[in-house]
Amino acid sequence: MNEIVIVDSECANLNSICKAVKAAGLSAVITDKPDIITGAKAVIFPGVGSYKHAMQVLEQKKLVSPLLASINKGTPFLGICLGMQLLFTCSEETHVQDSTNKIQGLNAIKGLVGRFSGDLPVPHVGWNKVRPVAGHPLFYGLGNNSYFYFTHSYYVIPENNENILAETSYGINFTSAVIRNNLLGVQFHPEKSGPAGLRLLSNFGKIIAGKEQ
């Protein structure tokens, strides 16, 4: 197997992710090559910006099938922010007024990506508490109310509660981390979350190591 892969979807701050991964003691390569992604020992899938644009880029780069192949064969996989949202069935995000069509995602986790509503400022930006709802190695050594850094206008709504790994409050309780077997996702940015973020990335490295044993 190759190194840990950070997927280049042209929709993420790859340098920040790469520096954080290195600071967490891990070795990774940035790539958009399908064969390298499918041969990786683990995949980190970051993303920021538009759901629609990101899906278009993945399709243009022919990365949809390699990403799903990695997930389905049990490769440790971590989606970050928009990268997590893209793992879901579809999003309510649209750039066409009066359109009710939802944008289709990777459908690796069943559920919808919805927009925050109400009187709170959107996007949700800044530090907030993340509460794991189930024990998992990704959050090992992190307290039940550790702070992580968020910047997003949309949040995931899994169909099945068994996919919810952690929650955060921002007007409502929303899902801030997800799980499906080897597939993990976080809404916050570990690369911007100081020691807690580095600990989470280090924990992901230990998950990878355990998978290799």
- Per residue in 160-201, pLDDT (tens digit) is 999 999 999 999 999 999 999 999 999 999 999 999 999 999
Q: Residues with Cβ < 8 Å from 60, sequence gap 6 or more?
A: none
Query: Residue 183 class from Cβ within 10 Å (0-12 exposed, 13-18 middle, 19+ buried)?
Result: buried
Do residues 83 and 100 make contact, with C-beta atoms less than 8 angstroms apart? Answer: no
Q: What is the pLDDT of residue 101?
A: 66
In the predicted model, is pLDDT for residue 13 greater than 90?
A: no
Please pick, among 18, 93, 152, 189, the residue that the annotation labels catalytic: 189
DSSP for residue 11: S
In the predicted model, is pLDDT for residue 23 greater than 60?
A: yes
Q: What is the pLDDT of residue 94?
A: 63
Look at the block and give the residue holding tokens 């390569």.
Answer: 29
User: What's the domain count of the chain?
Assistant: 1
Do residues 78 and 204 make contact, with C-beta atoms less than 8 angstroms apart? Answer: yes
Look at the block and give the residue holding tokens 């090559």.
Answer: 33
The average pLDDT across 133-141 equals 93
Q: Give tens-digit pLDDT for 79-133.
A: 999 999 999 999 998 644 444 567 899 999 999 999 998 788 999 999 999 999 9
- pTM score, two decimals? 0.94
In the predicted model, is pLDDT for residue 73 greater than 60?
A: yes
Give the whole-angstrom CA distance, residue 114 versus residue 91.
6
Q: Give tens-digit pLDDT for 56-66.
A: 999 999 999 99
The average pLDDT across 12-40 equals 93
Please pick, among 90, 93, 124, 191, the residue that the annotation labels catalytic: 191
Q: What is the pLDDT of residue 10?
A: 83
Structure tokens at 20: 């954080």
Q: What is the pLDDT of residue 139?
A: 97
User: What phi and psi, each to the nearest 5 degrees, are found at residue 10?
Assistant: 65, 15
Do residues 153 and 123 make contact, with C-beta atoms less than 8 angstroms apart? Answer: yes
Instruction: Provide the CATH number for the domain around residue 181.
Output: 3.40.50.880
In the predicted model, is pLDDT for residue 212 greater than 70?
A: no
Domain that holds residue 27: 2-212
Higher pLDDT, 95 or 35: 35
Decide if 93 is catalytic.
no
Closest CA to 7 of 82, 115, 72, 94: 82
Higher pLDDT, 9 or 140: 140
Give the whole-angstrom CA distance, residue 11 versus residue 108.
19
Decide if 191 is catalytic.
yes
Decide if 18 is catalytic.
no
Q: Which helix (H) or strand (E) is 193 found in, with range?
A: none
Q: What is the pLDDT of residue 98?
A: 40
Look over the chain and give the mean of its residue pLDDT values, rounded to a whole number. Answer: 92
Please pick, among 11, 18, 81, 90, the residue that the annotation labels catalytic: 81
Structure tokens at 170: 């921002």
Closest CA to 93 of 45, 54, 151, 47: 54
